[in-house]
Structure 1
């Protein structure tokens, strides 16, 4: 019997990257009805990138950080989450179409958070910011399908694009030339979501962010930006 390769391992369904679930399969089918037949892996990756970036609303408030709530299927069904949630969905979707994926975590300094969010986070350093890494055309690339276009407009941040060949990480400056986000520490890459490491790390670093053990404080990033709730 041939030993499984690293690529085989990074295509498996896992507890959190549950791409064999109905919810993940439905998302992929909606974007690629025939599974992307005739498309390259890069074309599939780009199509699913924009679906996750803009189809799942980015929201830090009211986020479910339970084990069940962090499964890709649960995030899709809820239709919202922040970087940790959305990166899980994208990694699962890419495995569903045969592209090896992993999850990457790093601490970032965010210069454009709202005063309310800064207070809850205890400053401008956000721990365990998440993105996805993909193996495309023999090269690993970092991909961040996180901040959706609506919030980019409200916060005057350039939407992050992905061409399928180069790393897609947060632009360092916003539309007005102000610094937006910089990576200051890496926690590495993982084959599945390291629940205790990431959720435990966020709880320790940002205790005021949590309303309960598994749920972040109530609020709305749209409301923070505009002073009123606007549908996502």
Structure 2
């Protein structure tokens, strides 16, 4: 299936299929879903399944911008699960694949954001505080599309003094505009759209073009640690 924007009027059946990146027919994704949903989620509603999988992705896969694999293989949901870490682009793919595995249609969202709380090192590598192709997931629940952001895990949020984003399956879960101390955190600037699968060249080339300093090689971001950044460790 070719990658299409949502205005292509794809059916919900199309938005349940495994794709190159949302490979929920893989053992890694199946095992991840099985662990998150005891007894396969029997007796649970779609909303309950979607929420359980949201927290499994948010807190079960560490959020890390540094040392990220942006190759085609590295962006597959199965690859991120096996590595156990990734940033918004990776984690949104995992969530989209996981909910499709239990019969919930999903799409991938991309947009540009301004992060007012990025560390000095990350801002230097990114060339400022505007991050392009930030990603989250749209899921179809209760007869409507809702947006979910299973990105910053609880441990990282605590270090950065950001309230973790919850998801109730009924309302959009996107970055709060302020952190726990009232400082500006995430500001959405521009939408690139929602897609049935990852528009790989558009996303990766877009990130590389706008943030060349972030890359250590063509498909790998610079070495480092967001935990170390939060603790003020220059190494």
Same fold (TM over 0.5): yes
Task: Determine whether 1:161 maps to 2:166.
Answer: yes
- Measure, in 2, the Cα distance between the counterparts of 1:105 and 1:31: 26
Q: What residue number does 1:71 align with?
A: 76
- Measure, in 2, the Cα distance between the counterparts of 1:142 and 1:72: 18
- Measure, in 2, the Cα distance between the counterparts of 1:134 and 1:18: 17
- Measure, in 1, the Cα distance between the counterparts of 2:56 and 2:223: 26
Q: What residue number does 1:177 align with?
A: 182
Could you report, residue by residue, the CA deviation over 1:38-62 in whole angstroms, capped at 9, with x for unpaired residues?
1110000000000000000000000
- How many angstroms does 1:139 deviate by? 0.5
Q: What residue number does 2:222 align with?
A: 217
Identify which of 115, 129, 137 aligns with 1:110. Answer: 115
- How many angstroms does 1:228 deviate by? 4.7
- Measure, in 1, the Cα distance between the counterparts of 2:33 and 2:86: 18
Q: Alignment length, in residue pairs? A: 225
Q: What residue number does 1:87 align with?
A: 92
Q: How does 1:91-170 map to 2 (within 5 A)?
A: 91-170=96-175
- How many angstroms does 1:227 deviate by? 3.3
- Measure, in 2, the Cα distance between the counterparts of 1:73 and 1:182: 30
Q: What residue number does 1:204 align with?
A: 209
Q: 4+ residue stretches of structure 1 with deviation over 6 A?
A: none
- Measure, in 1, the Cα distance between the counterparts of 2:60 and 2:160: 18
Identify which of 11, 18, 33 aligns with 1:13. Answer: 18
Q: What residue number does 2:231 align with?
A: 226
- How many angstroms does 1:34 deviate by? 2.0
Identify which of 27, 41, 46 aligns with 2:46. Answer: 41
**Which region of structure 1 is more displaced relative to structure 2, 215-224 or 5-14?**
5-14
Q: TM-score, normalised by structure 2?
A: 0.94
Secondary structure at the residue paired with 2:170? Answer: coil
Structure 2: 5+ residue stretches without partners: 1-9
Q: TM-score, normalised by structure 1?
A: 0.96
Secondary structure at the residue paired with 1:211? Answer: strand
Identify which of 51, 56, 59 aligns with 2:61. Answer: 56
